[in-house]
Amino acid sequence: MTNSKQDQVLIFDTTLRDGEQSPGATMTLEEKLEIAELLDQMGVDIIEAGFPIASEGDFEAVSKIAAQAKNAVICGLSRANFMDIDRCWEAVKHAARPRIHTFIGTSPLHREYQVRMDMEEMAEQIEKTVAHARNLCDNVQWSAMDATRTEEDYLARVCEIAIKAGATTINIPDTVGYTAPRESADIIKMLLERVPGMDEVTIATHCHNDLGMATANSLAAVEAGARQIECTINGLGERAGNTALEEVVMAMRVRNDIMPYHTGIDATRLMQASRMVATVSGFPVQFNKAIVGKNAFAHESGIHQDGMLKHAGTFEIMRPEDVGLSETSLVMGKHSGRAALRAKLNDLGFELGDNQLKDVFVRFKDLADRKKEVFDEDLIALMQDSSTSAVHDRIRVKSLRVVCGTEGPQTADLTLSIDGQDMSVQETGDGPVDATFNAVQSLFPHEAKLALYQVHAVTEGTDAQATVSVRMEENGKIAMGQSADTDTVVASAKAYVNALNKLLVRREKTAPQELVG
């Protein structure tokens, strides 16, 4: 059976916009370009690259992604005013296929408290702004923010106005993750019945996961007639996140018998995308996360293992390789060469340029010297160690020696390179990690507060690497730092410094919630 256009569901990825709005998930320009390139290659139809008015950095990222994209439509977000829309157009116009996305909160709460407009004023504003966007660009998406809490009559009315003003895609967001599958479908059906022209535009669904129903709500909307799902890799996004791209794509694929829709996504790139976004955002993927979690294909219990050995279909509804998971697990050691490392990393979904490989190889050798066996998980942790990836970092950990144990005080001797100059100090603290963080504070005084400190063992065994995640907050700005090392205190120091470096870069960016609300 051939796929018809009618059954095609467009995948609109907003990892770089809504995903990046997760507190602490801010990404650098290089990181955004890398993610956008992968999204483009793996068949994402529309990439929402950012919110151009939010900052110079966002504008630059959207412009560069627009210029780089080969296949995908590149979209920028803008509020319902001319200044935002003009700025958005300036950024996306470099794309072969640009889109302007403009939105306004239509629910009673948003009308009254956020935008402070009555129904009539808002209707007029929608008409003016959508028409303005359409004068600039042929491809215009309009979103009724908080649509699922908007009165039906008003939602139908404003959708009609937006379509008449030239919108080509109408998005019905469940902004606060409030709807449920049946209601999600009913809203789309109601709009298709009541709004003239609704069947001639693309209907989009954009769900948040506050009640854990984002995937189900998106798929229900598709069954009712939506043909664009807005989602993010790993479900990254504000609060409980957005619909996870990998979940909707695989659900429609695995259960195509009851959800006969198709997407253009190459599912074998899903693991690669998941790892890349986890690394860049500093948000690790929960072990039991559907599709891309570490345990998604692990079978521990005796009954399951027995069944798997007899026939994989007994307990597996999709194959690990369908989502790009390689089968091998152990493997590299200190005698492995550069070509083997490159092949192994490719297998794990990391594509490296020659310079990057050179750097990773040095770190791999260092790890292999300290650890008998280097497992896939170790290599993934090595790649996710953001503390060593940023070339422009102002602060770097040069050396660290700690004294700890039952006889206090615990002491840290730390040398940091700050703006290229080595500086050393000795500090004490309540334990070796506290002493180390005090030493960083004393060498580089800062107001930022430590909001989270987390340690995970990458593999089993006492020589396992520890991945340390650190979240720092300063005046409402948040940054995550991550590092892995066989020495937990070294990983802690590097993760802390990594978060500080990110905060320094992010000081100038406007908080997205101030823009979206």
Give me the residues that bind ligand KIV (CB under 6 A), please.
18, 103, 143, 145, 171, 173, 175, 206, 208, 516
Whichever of 214 and 489 has its CB closer to ligand KIV, that residue is 214
**Contact predicate 493/440, CB 8 Å:** yes
Whichever of 147 and 383 has its CB closer to Zn ion, that residue is 147
CB of 365 to Zn ion, least distance (A): 44
CB of 333 to Zn ion, least distance (A): 46
**H helices then E strands: how many in the chain?**
17, 14
DSSP category for residue 136? H
To the nearest 10°, report the CA torsion of 361, 321, 234, 182. 180
Whichever of 18 and 385 has its CB closer to ligand KIV, that residue is 18
Nearest-angstrom CA–CA distance, 506 and 484: 23
Which one of ligand KIV, Zn ion, none interacts with residue 471, CB within 5 to 8 A by kind? none
Whichever of 24 and 349 has its CB closer to ligand KIV, that residue is 24
CB of 227 to Zn ion, least distance (A): 19
Which one of Zn ion, ligand KIV, none interacts with residue 145, CB within 5 to 8 A by kind? ligand KIV
Amino acid at 251: A
| Residue sitting closest to Zn ion (CB) | 18
Binding site for Zn ion (CB under 5 A): 18
Nearest-angstrom CA–CA distance, 439 and 312: 53
Whichever of 184 and 384 has its CB closer to ligand KIV, that residue is 184
Place of tokens 């042929």: 138
CB of 101 to ligand KIV, least distance (A): 7
Nearest-angstrom CA–CA distance, 253 and 275: 21
Which tokens hold the place of 87? 């700025």
Which stretches of 19-175 are DSSP H helices? 29-41, 56-68, 82-92, 108-109, 119-136, 152-165
Nearest-angstrom CA–CA distance, 265 and 218: 17
Which one of ligand KIV, Zn ion, none interacts with residue 45, CB within 5 to 8 A by kind? none
CB of 178 to ligand KIV, least distance (A): 11
CB of 175 to Zn ion, least distance (A): 6
**Contact predicate 223/185, CB 8 Å:** yes
CA angle 78, 82, 84 (to 5 degrees): 30
Which one of Zn ion, ligand KIV, none interacts with residue 22, CB within 5 to 8 A by kind? none
φ, ψ at 90 (rounded to 5°): -55, -35
Which one of ligand KIV, Zn ion, none interacts with residue 506, CB within 5 to 8 A by kind? none
Nearest-angstrom CA–CA distance, 266 and 190: 33
CB of 208 to ligand KIV, least distance (A): 6
Which one of ligand KIV, Zn ion, none interacts with residue 246, CB within 5 to 8 A by kind? none
Whichever of 177 and 429 has its CB closer to Zn ion, that residue is 177
Whichever of 18 and 247 has its CB closer to Zn ion, that residue is 18
CB of 218 to ligand KIV, least distance (A): 13
φ, ψ at 56 (rounded to 5°): -60, -40
**Contact predicate 283/15, CB 8 Å:** no
Which one of ligand KIV, Zn ion, none interacts with residue 103, CB within 5 to 8 A by kind? ligand KIV
Which one of ligand KIV, Zn ion, none interacts with residue 143, CB within 5 to 8 A by kind? ligand KIV
Whichever of 179 and 467 has its CB closer to ligand KIV, that residue is 179
Q: How far is CA 293 from CA 98, 144, 247, 270, 372, in A?
A: 34, 33, 11, 11, 26
